[in-house]
């Protein structure tokens, strides 16, 4: 039985521009064939279960020939698999999507098209350039700037000039001299505003402005980074007036987020809202411990009323504990026990089950939680802590000193991992990633374990609290610490660090 192929446009780079339908299809994929121009934020959405096949293309450098890519799509679908062909931008706008469907159609392989937001319109928008404006033009024209090797540039420049519309050339940097000459020879005014827009919608976005008569010379004096598009037309003069992307606090900053995979999206969304490009690097994964008997025994004691307090030290601990509890019992098991949480994250996880914390420490770390909860103890209190296999010792020590009887139960274990699709080591070593955001000491350790050999003195680390900061400093990282251990304060700390990093780049 044949499978099916989805041809999916991933948009121009910013993960927020990936369509809802595209994300839905990607989450169900068994095989993903992806291009070099797919943004890191979208690549991070590829499910772990999916087989990955790289078919990247850059100017003059094809990892796979087009016919090989076509054949792979056919063969994987013939195996009965759900295949996603993930392409930058829109697959039908100079993306050779039509060619990839021909072989599928010939062999009766079912397929669907999921359009993507094209860089032709999104990149100018992110640079404050409306591709149409009633005071300047009434049409827009998208032209390939790519020409086949050893072939002349086959474009009717006279026809383009006569449209008096906005001209957008994709994949045209190598042909910039030909494009400028062709338009000038066809009679376009040399004073016509023009721009080269590099790496639009990402942290590396940059705009080179000039006129049709000067753009080639300006670009010859600097290195133009690809992918880039060329915009020619009166609307290009509006970029400064309508600029918005670079005005956001974290514009131009690429931030690595290292939370566990199931928690990473919330923090990522907060950073993206402030303008950052987010590289999701969930350096740790958490899984329930293989031997669940101690946890099951503790849940039995809860049901019998043998505990006075249950203490949660992470959202993962809440989730895994509740999953185990609800297999054979319900929320009433917690009716006669008080709940303490280490911070807002754990409390929010509890809220998802209709629960609230009876106690939160003044500072969200294990030592403070232990001391302040111990101050409420009179001696002999029975306390249950479902948490990581390797947890903070100070918490138990402080409670034990107060005479409490503590059951410190390993509920989940921590595993370190690397991304399958992003070269994290290169991103950090080269400085392409400006900073890393850490929400616990364990994420620092996971980051270090997954990037062994990295010069950690090059890492700018933004930390949620003192213990996380100490863990980062132990590796030699430069650190900033949030004033309070909340995600909101952590994002504010990222803004402070980003301002200092930007200043250092000048």
Rounded to whole angstroms, how far apart are CA atoms 489 and 483?
6
Whole-angstrom distance, CA of residue 475 vs CA of residue 467:
13
List the catalytic residue out of 14, 57, 254, 434: 57
Residue 85 DSSP code:
E
Residues 6+ apart with CB under 8 A from 321: 295, 312, 386, 411
Query: Is the dihedral angle over the CA atoms 333, 334, 337, 341 positive or is it negative?
Result: positive
Q: Which position among 14, 23, 28, 35 bears the catalytic label?
A: 35
Round to whole Å and give the CA distance between 53 and 204: 26
- Residue 5: CB atoms within 10 A of its CB come to 25
CA pair distance 462, 436, nearest whole angstrom: 6
Among residues 140, 138, 131, 142, the alpha carbon closest in space to that of 235 is found at 131
Q: Where would I find the H helices in 402-465?
A: 424-429, 441-450
Give the DSSP letter of residue 18. Answer: S
How many beta carbons lie within 10 A of that of residue 419, not counting itself?
19
Q: At what angle do helices 97-106 and 66-78 cross, to 10 degrees?
A: 40
Peptide bond into 227 cis (omega under 30): yes
Tallying the residues shown for the chain, one arrives at 506
> How far apart are the C-alpha atoms of 34 and 22, rounded to whole Å?
13
**How many Cα atoms are found within 13 Å in the side-chain-facing hemisphere of 87?**
27
Query: Catalytic residue at 57?
Result: yes
Residues β-bridged to residue 83: 5, 31
CB 383 within 8 A of CB 369: no
Comparing C-alpha atoms, which of 38, 85, 76, 84 is closest to residue 58? 38
Nearest one of 390, 441, 393 to 411, comparing CA atoms = 390
Bridge partner residues of 221 (DSSP)? none
The residue whose two tokens read 């934020």 is 41
DSSP class per residue in 379-415? S--EEEEEEESS--HHHHHHHHHTT-EEEEEEEEEEE
35 is catalytic: yes
Where do we find the tokens 């616990």?
440
User: Known catalytic residues?
Assistant: 35, 57
């Amino acid at each position: 039985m044949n499978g099916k192929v989805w041809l999916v446009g991933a948009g121009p780079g910013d993960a927020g521009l990936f369509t809802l339908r595209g994300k839905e299809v990607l989450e169900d994929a068994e095989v993903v064939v992806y291009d070099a121009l797919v943004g890191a934020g979208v690549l991070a959405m590829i499910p772990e279960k999916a087989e990955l096949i790289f078919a990247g293309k850059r100017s003059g450098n094809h990892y796979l020939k087009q016919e090989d890519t076509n054949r792979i799509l056919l063969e994987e679908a013939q195996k009965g698999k759900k295949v996603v062909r993930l392409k930058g931008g829109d697959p039908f706008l100079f993306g050779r999507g039509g060619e990839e469907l021909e072989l599928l159609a010939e062999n009766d392989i079912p397929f669907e098209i999921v359009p993507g937001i094209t860089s032709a319109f999104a990149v100018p928008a992110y640079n404050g350039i409306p591709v149409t404006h009633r005071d300047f033009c009434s049409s827009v024209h998208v032209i390939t700037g790519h020409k086949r090797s050893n072939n002349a540039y086959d474009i009717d420049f006279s026809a383009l000039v006569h449209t008096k519309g906005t001209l957008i050339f994709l994949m045209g940097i190598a042909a910039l001299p030909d494009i400028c000459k062709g338009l000038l020879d066809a009679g376009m005014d040399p004073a016509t505003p023009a721009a080269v827009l590099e790496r639009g919608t990402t942290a590396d976005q940059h705009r080179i402005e000039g006129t049709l008569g000067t753009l080639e010379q300006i670009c010859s004096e600097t290195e133009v980074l690809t992918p880039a598009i060329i915009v020619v037309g009166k609307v290009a003069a509006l970029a400064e007036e309508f600029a918005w992307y670079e005005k956001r606090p974290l514009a131009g900053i690429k931030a690595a987020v290292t939370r566990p995979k199931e928690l990473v999206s919330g923090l990522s969304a907060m950073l993206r809202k402030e303008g950052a490009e987010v590289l999701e690097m969930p350096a740790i994964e958490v899984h329930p411990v293989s031997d669940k008997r101690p946890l099951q025994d503790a849940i039995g004691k809860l049901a019998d009323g043998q505990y006075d307090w249950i203490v949660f030290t992470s959202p993962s601990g809440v989730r895994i504990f509740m999953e185990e509890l609800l297999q054979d019992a319900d929320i009433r098991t917690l009716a006669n026990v008080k709940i303490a949480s280490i911070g807002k994250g754990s409390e929010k996880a509890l809220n998802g089950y209709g629960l609230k914390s009876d106690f939160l420490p003044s500072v969200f770390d294990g030592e403070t939680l232990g001391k302040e909860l111990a101050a409420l103890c009179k001696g002999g209190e029975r306390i249950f802590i479902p948490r990581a296999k390797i947890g903070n010792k100070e918490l138990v020590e402080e409670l034990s000193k107060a005479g409490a009887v503590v059951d410190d139960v390993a509920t989940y274990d921590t595993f370190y991992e690397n991304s399958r699709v992003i070269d994290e080591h290169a991103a950090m070593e080269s400085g392409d990633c400006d900073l890393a955001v850490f929400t616990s000491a364990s994420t620092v350790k996971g980051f270090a374990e997954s990037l062994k050999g990295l010069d950690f003195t090059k890492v700018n680390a933004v930390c949620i609290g003192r213990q996380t900061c100490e863990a980062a400093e132990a590796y030699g990282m430069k650190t900033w610490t949030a004033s309070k251990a909340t995600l909101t304060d952590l994002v504010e700390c990222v803004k402070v660090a980003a301002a200092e990093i930007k200043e250092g780049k000048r």
